[in-house]
Amino acid sequence: MNPSCDCAGFCRDCGLEHVLPAEPALPYAQELMVALELRGSIGLDACADPRLSLEYLFGPARGQMFGVLAYRDASGQAGVLKAFSGQYNGVWEVPGWVPPILDPAEFARTIALDEPRIKDLTRRMHGLGVDDPARLAMLAERRGLSRNLMDRIFGLYRLTNFHGQTKPLAEVFTGKAMPTGTAECCAPKLLHHAAVHGLIPLGLAEFYFGRENRSATRRHGQFFAPCAEKCRPILGFMLCGLEGRVDG
């Protein structure tokens, strides 16, 4: 496996770069790809929600990242976790898949007031000239609402590492400005779940499944490292405390 696909990040708490290899999880990731293709859905039962169909990934919505984490539990038993990035066709939680780090119900309450206002401003701006004073005023208002809403959404995330430390996302992120969707990718979901449940990660691999993205940088069946923009700035903290436990 290409080392560039490994899960890695710098931890400012300990001053070290932490790395979790992809190789141990690769066979399980390949098995998952085959299982998805055979099932035609990410649902695990015959009566799965139609929203979970793989047709979603090959249509206008395009593909999505999936991740697999190989682990060992406290008794030495091996196991595998799997996750999809963000929501799947508007669905946050699917049985058999690692849940999101935030509480979906709390997320819904957080966006309930401001999201409709932001969409309404967008609708009212449509058709107005670029320099129209009314449009400029609405644009400023929308930007303010959007920034405030994103700050409150980011505040819903608390990340746990393998020292048992839990911190708000804003205290963990080592980059400049957090992009939308930070902490919703596969690697953070998998590592947080493992840390909270006392599991020892052995490897983590992520692959893209579905129609290629618009920039043609992601193609079906290819493996990729966790993204540099959203994941790497938080993975150092999330992996901290894992050294010595993998071989212990």
Q: What is the arithmetic mean of pLDDT over 93-102?
A: 96
pTM of the model as a whole: 0.92
Has residue 79 been placed in a domain? yes
Has residue 140 been placed in a domain? no
Has residue 13 been placed in a domain? yes
Range of the domain at 219: 3-102+157-239
Q: How confident is the model at residue 4 (pLDDT cuts 50, 70, 90)?
A: confident
Pick the more confident residue, 130 or 246.
130
Q: In what order do the strands lie in the sheet with 223-224?
A: 78-84, 64-72, 200-209, 223-224
pLDDT digits (tens, 9 = 90+) for 54-80: 999 998 889 999 999 999 999 999 999
Give the end-to-end CA distance of the chain in Å, rounded to a whole number: 24
Cα–Cα dist 157/159, whole Å = 6
State how many domains the chain has.
1
Has residue 121 been placed in a domain? no
Q: How confident is the model at residue 1 (pLDDT cuts 50, 70, 90)?
A: very low
Q: What is the arithmetic mean of pLDDT over 113-136?
A: 94
Has residue 108 been placed in a domain? no
Has residue 150 been placed in a domain? no
Dihedral (CA of 40, 202, 7, 5) sign: negative
Has residue 145 been placed in a domain? no
Has residue 221 been placed in a domain? yes
Question: Given this model, what pLDDT does residue 44 score?
Answer: 77
